Amino acid sequence: MLPSLFLATTAATLATAHTVITYPGWRGNNLHTNEAWPYGMQWQYPCGGINLTTNRTYWPTTGGALAFQPGWFQGHQNALLYVNIGVGSDGPDGGPINMSNPLLPPFQLLGPSNGPFPGTVCLPQVPLPVNWTMNPGDNATLQIVEIAMHGASLFSCVDITFAAPGDPRIPEVNESNCLNSSDLGFANIYSVTTTPIGAAANMNVNGASSFRVAAWLGYLPVLVGAAWLLI
Ligand SMILES: *[C@@H]1O[C@H](CO)[C@@H](O)[C@H](O)[C@H]1NC(C)=O
Ligand SMILES: *[C@@H]1O[C@H](CO)[C@@H](O)[C@H](O)[C@H]1NC(C)=O
Ligand SMILES: *[C@@H]1O[C@H](CO)[C@@H](O)[C@H](O)[C@H]1NC(C)=O
Ligand SMILES: *[C@@H]1O[C@H](CO)[C@@H](O)[C@H](O)[C@H]1NC(C)=O
Ligand SMILES: *[C@@H]1O[C@H](CO)[C@@H](O)[C@H](O)[C@H]1NC(C)=O
Ligand SMILES: *[C@@H]1O[C@H](CO)[C@@H](O)[C@H](O)[C@H]1NC(C)=O
Ligand SMILES: *[C@@H]1O[C@H](CO)[C@@H](O)[C@H](O)[C@H]1NC(C)=O
C-alpha cells in the first residue's frame, strides 16, 4: 500500500515545515506561550486554544492520511498518541461538542531524545470509527492528542469537510507531506490486569495512626490561613 504513496520526489519541503499537523492541514499555529496562554496554548482541550476555523480541508469519506510532527517541545522521548474525530456544531465555538471518538488505538511514539526533535509521522489510512458513515459535504474535526511523559496532553486539530474518494479537492498525499522519519519509532500499548474488578485488597488501616496524622495535616494550612485573617 505504501509504495504507491511514495512518488519519486524529494522530501526537501520537510525542513521548512512550521506546522504540527502537516497533512491534511492545521487549525493554525498554536505553539505559543504568552500572557494569554502562560502554560502554552497546546495544553488546552480540545484543540490547543484555537477555535473552529472555516478554512477547512477536504478529506475522504472513507478516511484518509494524517501526518504530523510530534517533537516540537521537550519531554517527548516517549509519548502516547491518540487520534480522534468530532462532529456536530454544539460546541461553544460552533464546532464539535466533544472529540470522544477514537479513530485508531492509541500508540506510543519513541523519540530520539527528550529534547525537541525534528521528524514526522505519517498514518496513510486513518479509518473512520466502526459503522460511521460520513457523506460528502459533512464537516468534522480531526484531533491529535500527544500525552507527554508527565501525563499532560497536547492538542492539535484540523477542520475538514468530507469529499468522495478521488475528489480533486482532497490534497495530494505524497512523500513530502506524509513520511515516517527514520529517527522515530513506534510501540503498541498493552495493559496487564493485576487486580480484576472485585478482587481489590485493602490493607487493614484501622490501626494505622499515620492515616489520621495525614488527614489532620491536610486541614492544617486552612486553619493557619484562617488564623492570619483574624490578626
Ligand atoms: C487556516 O487559516 C489559518 C490562519 O491563516 C492558518 O494558520 C491555517 O493553516 C489554515 N488552515 C488550513 C487548513 O488551511
Ligand atoms: C461546513 O463548514 C463550512 C464552513 O467551514 C460551512 O460553510 C458549511 O455550511 C458547513 N457544512 C455543513 C453541512 O454544516
Ligand atoms: C473561542 O470561542 C469561545 C466561545 O465562543 C470564546 O469565549 C473564546 O474567546 C474564543 N477563543 C478565541 C481564542 O478566540
Ligand atoms: C459527543 O458528541 C457527539 C456528537 O455531537 C454526541 O452525539 C455525543 O452524545 C457526545 N458525547 C458525549 C459524551 O458528550
Ligand atoms: C508510519 O508508522 C506507523 C506506525 O508504525 C504506521 O502505522 C504507518 O503505516 C507508517 N507510515 C508509512 C507511510 O509507512
Ligand atoms: C456495526 O454494525 C454491525 C451491523 O449492524 C453490528 O453488528 C456491530 O455490532 C456494529 N459494531 C459496532 C462497534 O457498533
Ligand atoms: C505533495 O502534495 C502537495 C499537496 O498536498 C503538493 O503541494 C506538493 O507539491 C506535492 N509534493 C510533491 C513533491 O509532489
Longest alpha-carbon distance in the chain: 77
Alpha helices by DSSP H, the chain? 209-230
pLDDT for res 71: 78
Q: Give the global pTM.
A: 0.84
Measured in residues, the chain has a length of: 231
| 28-37, 83-92, 189-198, 206-215 — most confident range | 83-92
Tell me the CA–centroid distance for residue 158 and ligand 1, in Å: 9
For a substitution probing ligand 4, which of 52, 87, 97 has the most ligand atoms within 8 Å of its CB?
Answer: 97
Backbone angle region of 26, left / alpha / beta, with phi > 0 → left and psi within -120 to 50 → alpha: beta
Say if ligand 2 is within 6 A of residue 88 CB: no
Between 6-20, 56-70, 73-87, 149-163, the lowest mean confidence (pLDDT) is in 6-20
Q: What Rg, from alpha-carbon coordinates, does the chain have?
A: 23
Collapsing DSSP states into helix, strand and coil, what is residue 141? strand
- SS in 3 state form for 148-206? CCCCCEEEEEEEEEEECCCCCCCCCCCCCCCCCCCCCEEEECCCCCCCCCCCCCCCCCC
The 8-class DSSP code of residue 38 comes to T
Tell me the CA–centroid distance for residue 176 and ligand 4, in Å: 35
pLDDT for res 126: 98
pLDDT for res 115: 77
pLDDT for res 150: 85
Phi, psi of 141, deg, nearest 5? -130, 130
Collapsing DSSP states into helix, strand and coil, what is residue 84? strand
Say if ligand 5 is within 6 A of residue 154 CB: no
Say if ligand 5 is within 6 A of residue 124 CB: yes
For a substitution probing ligand 5, which of 68, 122, 179, 184 has the most ligand atoms within 8 Å of its CB?
Answer: 122
Enclosing H/E stretch for 22: strand 21-23
CA atoms of 173 and 28, how far apart (whole Å)? 20
Percent of the chain whose pLDDT exceeds 90? 62
CA atoms of 100 and 194, how far apart (whole Å)? 27
pLDDT for res 229: 40
Structural domains present in the chain = 2-188 (2.70.50), 199-230 (no CATH)
Q: Which is more confident, 230 or 194? A: 194
User: pLDDT tens digits for 160-176?
Assistant: 999 999 999 999 999 98
CA atoms of 132 and 128, how far apart (whole Å)? 6
User: pLDDT tens digits for 74-127?
Assistant: 777 788 999 999 999 999 999 999 999 999 999 999 988 877 777 899 999 999
User: What cell numbers appear for 225 in the block?
Assistant: 490561613
